[in-house]
Amino acid sequence: MDAPVALPTAADVDEAARRLAGVALHTPLLTSAALDAVTGGRIFLKAETLQHTGSFKFRGAYNKLAAIPPDQRAGGVVAFSSGNHAQGVAAAARLLGMACVIVMPRDAPRAKRERTAALGAEVVLYDRALDDREAIAKDIAARRGAILVPPYDDALIIAGQGTAGREIVEDLGALGLTPDVVVVTASGGGLTAGIALAIKARVPMAALYTAEPAGFDDHARSFRSGRREENAALTGTICDALMARMPGKLTFAINQSLVGAGVAVSDDEVTAAVAFAFAELKLVVEPGGAVALAALMTGKIDVRDKIAVAVLSGGNVDPELFSRLVA
């Protein structure tokens, strides 16, 4: 049996915020009168597209790597990711002077592969349908004496991602507001779990929701069944960042109690959200990063007369795909 692992807490998020101070960007909350009109609520968008490496993943990666004692850094780190975690880990490793290997699927967007390599990481490619990325990463880590950096199911990763939720409450508080609803894109659930810890500790009555691509709504189904459900498909959505097979063990343990509800949106609805963000906010948002926005735009979460926040979790998208989405 697996040994019990302590779940991170809101205090761990606060510690992560201290570790990330002056390193991670405090990203803004953006507003749009057009979005308010569409939804009937007062909407704020947490623009993690503007974070270092173009996604929230830098927060958790840096928190994890910076917590490694200096005398244990010689072997470097190994991570597995479709792209955003890859870039976050690679950037954090470069800042801390650590060697870095990233195991990435061959079908990951070219821009994500190239940027990961440009950040100094050694990229090892695998076949998403045939290979076990975690097994590959573990083998590399064992051979090199490196430390494995999971994409979401890790207390330090979760706590680092939670700093985005801490900022949401702080920035709304500066306006004299508190969130009624917070919608977070979900893959493995690390961002959701971290944000839930931070927000529920400060605004217990806030309602949190996951937003996922149709066919990859393992969180929504898991919330309904009370156990971790697995997606049937490995591929089949434009949201390449949101194709984890099932919620993580740690993340679901947190989200089941603090979140407990989720919605799914189609690729067409995500496309409309990407186009809206570009036209109205002048932001480049990747498909996976626009899923929470799509959930609000389609009315799948009722935010009429409420203060609501949607997290724009990433902006790393191939130019060719982006041009088609916004055309």
Residue 4 confidence (pLDDT) = 62
In the chain, the domains with their CATH numbers are: 10-55+155-326 (3.40.50.1100), 58-148 (3.40.50.1100)
Residue 81 confidence (pLDDT) = 87
SS3 224: helix
Residue 1 confidence (pLDDT) = 43
Please compute, for residue 124, the number of CA atoms within 13 A of its CA located in the half-sphere on the CB side. 18
| Mean pLDDT for back-to-back runs of 10 residues, the chain (327 residues) | 76 98 98 98 98 97 97 95 91 97 88 90 91 93 95 97 98 98 97 98 98 97 97 90 92 96 98 98 97 98 98 94 94
Residue 111 confidence (pLDDT) = 81
Q: Is the pTM for the entire model greater than 0.85?
A: yes
Residue 128 confidence (pLDDT) = 83
Alpha helices in the chain (DSSP H): 10-20, 33-39, 57-66, 84-96, 110-118, 133-144, 155-174, 190-202, 218-225, 249-258, 267-281, 291-297, 319-326
Residue 5 confidence (pLDDT) = 74
